[in-house]
Structure formats: C-alpha cells, structure tokens
A and B are shown apart, each in its own frame.
Chain A
C-alpha cells in the first residue's frame, strides 16, 4: 500500500526564508503519520533535488522536528525574491512537487 505526502500531511507549504532561500514545511496531525513518513526514508536531499530538478548542494537543510511533528526542507531560491527573473515574490507556490511524493505506508 502507499499514499502520497500530500494525502498524509496536514500542512504542506512553501515560503521565503529571507530573500535568498525557500523553505518547505510539512506537518502531520498524528505522531504515527510523522514517524512512518520519517522512518520510510523516502524524504532525502536526493529526492528533493529530483522533485525540483536542482543540484543536491542547493538543498541546504532537511530536518525533522519530533515534538512539532514537522519536517523542514530549505533550498536555494532559483532567483532572489523580487529580482528581475523571480516569479514568486513570497515563494508561497513552490510546494506542489512535494504533494505527489509517494510514501510506501498505509495510514
């Protein structure tokens, strides 16, 4: 059985972390869901780099926060916020590729 990260997460969002970084937050309603996703080993720097077509070195942080049942992934912005080539000044619509990530768990 499997599900998707979008199905199992209660919050999945992106936002600027300052003008140079983009941060993706994923939260889970239950400790069980959080633990299963974390233990599945699916979410890695390499997965993020494949989802977004970026170098792994541009994934600058991927961290789990147990007490908050949250996952935070921070990547380098493709263009600095508000600079001539930027497309999303708040960085709030860059999360969609994570929604479809398949998680081999049954919740």
Chain B
C-alpha cells in the first residue's frame, strides 16, 4: 500500500528481475466510509512521497511504467489530484520530466441519476436499491475501473499512471492483458499480487513486493527474497481474499472462474498457477461506491471493575438509554460497546459472558458536534451516578483512562452507494488524460 513503506532489500531484488511494469495499490474502502465521504487520505503525504520517489527512481532507470491504483485512498478526483501534486513535486525536486497519465473515476451525480432512471444500476445483494435521494445525499461517488481504462492510459506511454478507484487486481493485470496474455490468467495474477507477500507463507504481509511472470498457459508468482516462500495453499488463500465466492472473481465485464485452477509448487518458493478461465458477461458492469455524511460523533472510553456493576450492566445501560431518549428530542444514535463481554462481535457473539473487568465504549452520533458532545456528557454522568440495586460503591461507577473523558470525533460517514452500474462501453465514465510534469 503506497505510503506505508516497503523493505529496500526485497524491492531491489524484485526490481533486478527487470519487470515490464510496477504496480502499487494506494486505496481501499476497507478503512471505512470516511475516505470517500470526507475525501480523507489514509496515508501521510510525506511517507507517500518517500515511497513514490523510491519507486520512480527505480522505474525511470529501467524505462518501465508505474501504475498506482485507487489514488488518495478513495480514488476520488481529489485523491488523484493529491497524488498528481506529489508526483509533480518529486519531478521538480529531482529535476525529472515525468509523463503522467491520469484516469479519473469520480462520477457526476446527474450522470448517476440518468443511469438509475435508465435502469442501468442494480443492487449486489444486501444493499437497498439506489434512489435519487441517496445519490443527492452522497458526497462522492466513484466507479471501480477494470483493465480497459488502465490499458488506455498505458497506450499513452507514460512514466506513471495515476488511476482513480480501481479494482486492485487491475493494477497488475492491465499490462499483461494489453500485451495479449489470457485474461483469466492475468486477472488471477493481479488478484494474488495486489496484497504483496500476503500470498506467501512467511509473515511479511502486504508491505513486501512480489513478482508475477505470465506465460501463454500459466503464470508464476514469488519473490527472489529467500525468506518469502509461496506455497500452493498460501497462493490459493490469497486468490479468495476479500471475495464472497471461492471459485469466482467478479470483475468489470466478466469473471475469472477459478474452479479449475491448479496451484503447483515451483522451485525456490515460487508457485505456478494455470487453468484460471475468463468468462465474459453479456454486459460491462462496474461497481460504484459512495459515502454520505451521517452526522458528528462523540465518544467516551471507560472501564468498570465492580462485580455488582458488571452484573447489572445491561439494566444500567438500558435505563440510561431510555432516560437519554426522553431528555433529547433530536435524532441521535447512542450505543454501548462492552469489551470483555461482546465488544468485538456484538449480536454475533456466542458466549457473551463478562470478564472480571469490562471496558465500555460509549458512542453518540448526532446532527451537530455540539449536540453529540452534549448528549455524551449527559450519558456519562447518568451512568456514573446510576444507583442500581445492590450498589455498594456510591462514589461513581466508571473508571476513565483519559482526561478530558469525552472525545469529539468530528464528522461521521456511512456507505450509501455500493451498486453495480452497466456501461455502454468501458470508457463511458472514466476520463484518461496525459501531461508532462517537470
């Protein structure tokens, strides 16, 4: 992930294999809806610039293109601009002239509304059908590009492609598909490479660079670094990563069928993969994503050690919830997360038995920061001084690890768009541009 660093030694070793393209993912929806909703970039600017400078230094001397996908975390236009600005700054600093292609993926709301009215947008599963009102309330909407749009950018022979929101695998599959290699193999290779060495047995994780080598009938993944060892099961595990179906990777324009994929150990900790098939669909659908501001959040973190308090905790929290709802007529969300009991899993927890001490996270989301702060102060004080049956500790009920004990967290976002949109052609809503920066 761009901006989070990578080790020098394995970067040098992988680069020494003379790849034809270098790719790096710079975004995701995984951190939550705030990146897209608020245009918030997850990585720091300084570390992003450090990573990009190292990558470009290596790529320029070898005259190979670099592809960055999901620029600025969300892949919105502001994310692409942010990344372009960093690349331009590096070019100036280093005295380079960089030919940079950008692919924008942010969608105009009027365009999305037209697509909705034309019946070109559908739900994936658990999501509500999209409505015009939701589109209007959404701050930013992006489309996830596939390989076609990155291929268009690569056709412009740039030093660097800065792509907006992209399918992670497309970053690594595009050049191979442009060169005519089978789509099933190329996409599957991209899926495995997108999280770096998470496809290996060693505990290196996503920061470690990996290499994929594609042929007509198979591809090979691995790393020249000796301690990065891939096995058929580690590579197969990565093939499924973050997908809902074990045999198919759904992608713009079709899917990769992995039901017949074979994973075979090759020498030196590399793995050969074959049999992955591209199955074209009758329409070109892209995922569209959007997030909207829900309100403002305030929180309190506290602990409790008193066994009488812990055994009455539900009674206390339910009563405080009720009192708070009576006290404030405005719309707000209040919830309590009880760590040491079911804090991590909530309703999914099969054994909600409290430990001898519990942590309590109190969360309020309301229409303004002032209101959220006001409500949380009321909730906190109500719990502190709640006289439950059998109480012995009459001083106060909660142990606060922080002073001030409440935190104003600012705007809160939620995903509002996560739907499939049919395009008439792959370039319908993506804008490719190129320029020289020095």
Contacts and interface: CB of A to CB of B under 8 A. Distances in A.
Contacts of B34: 82
Contact of A52 (B297, B350, B413, B415): B350
A2 interface: no
Interface of B: 29-34, 124-127, 232-233, 236-237, 239-247, 258-263, 294, 297, 333, 335, 337, 343-348, 350, 363, 365, 412-415, 418
Contacts, number: 148
Nearest to B289: A19
Contacts of A71: 246
Nearest to B295: A84
13 contacts: A19-B33, A21-B126, A61-B244, A65-B258, A67-B236, A67-B260, A67-B261, A68-B246, A68-B258, A72-B240, A79-B346, A81-B33, A89-B32
B243 A17 contact: yes
Given A82-B33, A88-B344, A93-B344, A23 B236 contact: no
A70 B242 contact: no
A31 to B, nearest CB: 10
Q: Max chain B CB contacts within 10 Å: which of A28, A71, A81?
A: A81
Interface string A59-76: 011011101111110101
A83 interface: yes
A72 B245 CA distance: 7
A27 B294 CA distance: 38
Contacts of B348: 52-54, 78, 94, 97
A20 B124 contact: yes
Given A83-B33, A83-B415, A93 B345 contact: yes
A41 interface: no
A68 B263 contact: yes
Contacts of A87: 337, 343-346
A49 B239 CA distance: 26
A90 B30 contact: yes
Nearest to A69: B233
A29 interface: yes
Nearest to A11: B237
Interface string A19-39: 111010101110000000000
A15 to B, nearest CB: 6
A88 to B, nearest CB: 6
Given A23-B243, A70-B246, 4 more contacts: A18-B29, A61-B244, A68-B240, A82-B34
A44 to B, nearest CB: 16
Contacts of A10: 233
Nearest to A90: B30
Contact of B350 (A29, A69, A79, A97): A97
B233 A29 contact: yes
A101 to B, nearest CB: 11
A20 B125 contact: yes
A20 B346 contact: no
Contacts of A77: 126
Given A20-B125, A52-B348, A84 B365 contact: yes
A80 to B, nearest CB: 6
Contacts of B346: 78-79, 85, 87
Given A84-B333, A87-B346, A94-B345, A63 B415 contact: no
Nearest to A19: B415
B247 A63 contact: yes
A69 B261 CA distance: 12
A54 B241 CA distance: 23
Contacts of A79: 346
Contacts of B232: 68
Q: Max chain B CB contacts within 10 Å: which of A29, A83, A94?
A: A83
List the 8 closest A-B pairs by CB distance, nearest first.
A82-B32, A68-B236, A72-B246, A65-B246, A17-B244, A74-B244, A83-B414, A63-B246
B245 A61 contact: yes
A70 to B, nearest CB: 6
